[in-house]
Amino acid sequence: MTLIELGIVAGLVAVLLALALPLYGGWKDRVKIKQAQDDIIAMSMVIDAFHQDNGRFPADLAEIRRGSVRDPWGNAYEYLDLTTTKGKGKARKDHSLVPLNTDYDLYSKGRDGSSAGPLTAKASRDDILRANNGRFVGPADRY
């Protein structure tokens, strides 16, 4: 092989790596999002079963033995019983500032580990959340 051929091969390898690395990073994010969705669905089922048995929602996730569960990014899941909260100030809200749920809020703060009440806030765009009383579970930017 000549020096020119080696240079061409090295250039092709560099181009392929430049194309493959972003796809790999996106794949890892999708796996983490899916894991957070699965965790939220599983915790919702436990919360709903607790509600069926006790006639009330748990005060926190520790009451259903899920207080130490972390999302795929290492953050604690956020939970708020809306049936005992006075007013709608602490509830998560959509772009029209309408609460996402009437029973309870359950969400992950996502990759950046920060969040804000309305989904329109920059900190909330990567959150993985439960909305419409469980009929939607997924990324906030898709709600």
Enumerate domains of the chain plus CATH numbers.
Answer: 3-142 (3.30.700)
φ/ψ of 40, rounded to 5, equals: -65, -40
Q: 3-class SS at 81? A: strand
Per-residue confidence (pLDDT) for residue 121, from 0 to 100: 87
Dihedral sign for Cα 94, 98, 100, 105, please. Answer: positive
Overall pTM > 0.75: yes
**CA–CA distance from 72 to each of 6, 48, 61, 106 (Å)?**
42, 23, 17, 15
Q: What tens digit of pLDDT does each residue of 49-100 get? A: 999 999 999 999 999 999 999 999 999 999 999 998 776 668 899 888 889 9
Tokens for 142, please give them: 């898709």
